[in-house]
Structure 1
Amino acid sequence: MTKRLTILLILTITFFSCKKEVKNENQKLNVVTTTSMITDLVKNIGGDMIEVKGLMGSGVDPHLYKASEGDVNKLVTADIIFYNGLHLEGKLVEVFEKMESQDVKTIPVGESLEKNTLIGSDYFASNYDPHIWFSIKNWKIVTESVIKELSIIDPKNAEVFKTNGKTYLSKLNDLEIKLKEIISTLPKEKRILVTAHDAFSYFGKAYDFNVVGLQGLSTATEAGVQDVQKLANFIIEKEVKAIFVESSVPKRTIEALQAAVKSKDHQVTIGGTLYSDALGNPGTVEGTYIGMFEYNVNTITNALK
């Protein structure tokens, strides 16, 4: 965070600490979220009872995201903030730490998961893979956590949150069944998923895919020439038919990998664009968590068959 933004944050916090008042019965809960996946989830649970302001839109990379002046205003006036945690929003950590000293409740949804269910990593700041939403089992637990936290801070609407949550959990159960049916059409030996960065390990664990990312868990990690050549050899050896671009990562990394394979007299196609760290555009099917997940699975299975 820049020095100017740090000063702004301190001044804004000081101002709103003096001005903040208890909400009356007719005011909605003011909720701020970080990633589009969390925004979609919170909207499904809160419905018309809350006002949700998401910081990150379609195609935004949370690993590299920096708080703007507008973000600071949203954060300090929030009643509750939901963020992923596990160092996904690495450049916002300092902001969240400052929020903790104010009358703003900050909830890292990743901490609702048992540590033994997380995928470890020696190459990421938290030592855990933060891409927890690619396990529907994880997302159900996160959903329960959001229901609980909203009910605590806004008890008068607790029953609404529980009802909405029950409906959403049922949709997640249906999604899980549907995805397994789609993936079952792809032979296990073809379940090799090569993407721009290592965002799909939870997906791979859930659906028996060998997942390989050109970059590491964080897109802040650059892939070198040796990384590209090594993965190109892997693709040739395993006869991988298609590799995938990600909507929140520049496509040049995967295009470089495709070129490296071609230089060795082999061919691999780009099977499509997957949504990894952000959902699609608002108003589209891919702009929802459920729609994004189904789209990704269809794209992967169709390209690898």
Structure 2
Amino acid sequence: MKKISAMVLALSFSVVACSTPGNQTVSPTPEATATPAQARDQKAQNKLLVVTTVAPLTNIISNIAGERVQVTGIIPEGTDSHTFEPRPSDADLLSKAKLIIVNGLHLESPTEKLAKASKPKETNIYELGDNTITQSQWIYDFSFPKEKGDPNPHLWVNPKYAEAYAKLAAQQLTQLDPAGKDYYATNLKNYLQRLDALDKANRAVVESIPAKNRKLLTYHDSWAYWAREYGFQVIGAIQPSDFKEPSAQDVAKLITQIRQVGVPAIFGSEVYPSKVQEQIAREAKVKTANTADDELPGKGSANAMENTNPEHTYIGMMVNNMRIIAENLGGNPELVKNVNTANVVGPTANETKTSQK
């Protein structure tokens, strides 16, 4: 009898141990134990996907899309967007896109070709550049001669065209997601204020540079539309139209030109490091510095929702460019110090003053 009683008592304890009283916590489900990164990935999978190309475009569009849309850029920062060949994995990404936004003007031809082959039939490919200026406003220049047929595509370097890009992005996102109309409109309003401040700072910097120094010789010819807007003259580009290094004859001509024009500095590119640029500067006895047209400063994500670096933005890139140009051409670099470089949405937005409710 004692053995039977002991067994019954042990069994009762076992039943109690396996039951869950109301004041005890139930073991969490696998979903509840997901890491923050996994939870973020799951949340992203539930959003509409918009695929873009170069980092400045991705960042501009992210500032309008905010939390409602997953914006992903295909072309890695620091990569030559003119010659970038999409990876096999990009086809899968494009096949899931609800909207594909590119610069156009023949900038991303291989990527556009893959997009057309990979995207769902109903997914639109929208070209920002082609919807911002007309063919009569295209610029052909040293790196983009007219005989080759490809205009200079770097519209976004001009903050006024960045404003146009933001407005067009808001239109496209609203068509894709009509329920987000007010949200996109609010983000656009806040972001346009930020771009307007950038435009004013650009004009102030240019005004501070002696008129005789308002000339640019760059490695890659990406400043044409900026120069036209702000009263600069692009006098040449080191990189030939085939995107290779210049010949010895080309180098000699550039050195002679720099001496004749009398500019105090020439500007290279973060994406195109070149020993030829250093040689030209050394022989022409001028300073040299690097600017950027599609690589954002510092480390961070081009997705506004994950970006914790307030300088890793399109505006941050342009502020850095203005500082470098001012420092090397006799202007006042302090004129950009008060420009707010942070995104209007995402982690850095809390550090900024916006009108978003």
TM-score (norm: length of structure 2): 0.71
Structure 1 stretch displaced more, 223-232 or 87-96: 87-96
Matched, 1:128 2:148: no
- Number of residues of Structure 1 aligned to a counterpart in Structure 2: 273
Q: Deviations over 1:272-291 (max 9, x none)?
A: 22012332344355521111
Structure 1 position 157, deviation (Å): 0.9
Partner of 1:268: 286
Q: Contact 1:188–1:208 at 8 Å: present in 2 too?
A: no
Partners of 1:126 and 1:97 in 2: CA distance:
22
Counterpart of 1:184 (choices 207, 219, 225) is: 207
Match of 2:278 in 1: 255
What is the aligned partner in structure 2 of residue 37 from structure 1? Answer: 56
Match of 2:219, SS state, is strand
Q: Does 1:280 align with 2:302?
A: no
Cα distance between partner residues in 2 of 1:287 and 1:196 = 23
Match of 2:68 among 40, 46, 49: 49
In 1: Cα distance, 2:169 partner to 2:94 partner: 18
CA distance in 1, matches of 2:320, 2:239: 23
Alignment RMSD (CA, Å): 2.1
Give the partner amino acid of 2:285.
Q
Q: Does 1:140 align with 2:160?
A: no
Structure 2: tracts of 5 or more residues without a match: 1-44, 301-308, 331-357
Amino acid in the other structure paired with 2:114: V
Aligned to 2:237: 213
Which runs of structure 1 show a deviation greater than 6 angstroms over 4 or more consecutive aligned residues?
none
**2:97 aligns to what SS in structure 1?**
coil
TM-score by length of 1: 0.83
| AA of the residue aligned to 1:292 | M
Q: SS of 1:258's equivalent?
A: helix
Q: Is the CA contact (8 Å cut-off) linking 2:54 and 2:77 kept in structure 1?
A: no
Aligned to 1:91: 110
Cα distance, 1:248 vs. partner? 1.0
Alpha-carbon distance in structure 1 between the residues aligned to 2:225 and 2:311: 19
Contact 1:58 1:281 in 2 (8 A): no
SS at the partner of 2:205?
A: helix
**Residue 291 of structure 1 corresponds to which residue in structure 2?**
316
Q: Following the alignment from structure 2 to structure 1, what is the Cα–Cα distance between the partners of residues 242 and 263?
A: 23
Percent identity over the alignment is 29
Cα distance, 1:93 vs structure 2: 3.3
Query: What is the distance in 1 between the residues matched to 2:161 and 2:68?
Result: 25
Distance 1:275 1:286, change over 3 A: farther
Distance change (3 Å), C-alpha of 1:105 and 1:99: farther
- Secondary structure at 1:223's aligned position in 2? coil
Larger Rg: 2
- Tell me the distance in 2 between the aligned counterparts of 1:30 and 1:275: 27
Pair 172,152 (structure 1): closer, same or farther in 2 beyond 3 Å: same
**Residue type matched to 1:275 in 2?**
A
Please name the residue that 2:258 is paired with.
235
String of CA shifts for 1:185-214, please: whole Å, max 9, x gaps: 101111121111111111111121121211
Letter in 2 for 1:290: I
1:10 is aligned to: none
* Secondary structure of 2:70's aligned partner: strand
Call closer, same or farther: CA 1:177–1:150 in 2, change over 3 Å: same
CA distance in 2, matches of 1:232, 1:285: 39
The reply on whether 1:119 has 2:144 as its aligned counterpart is no
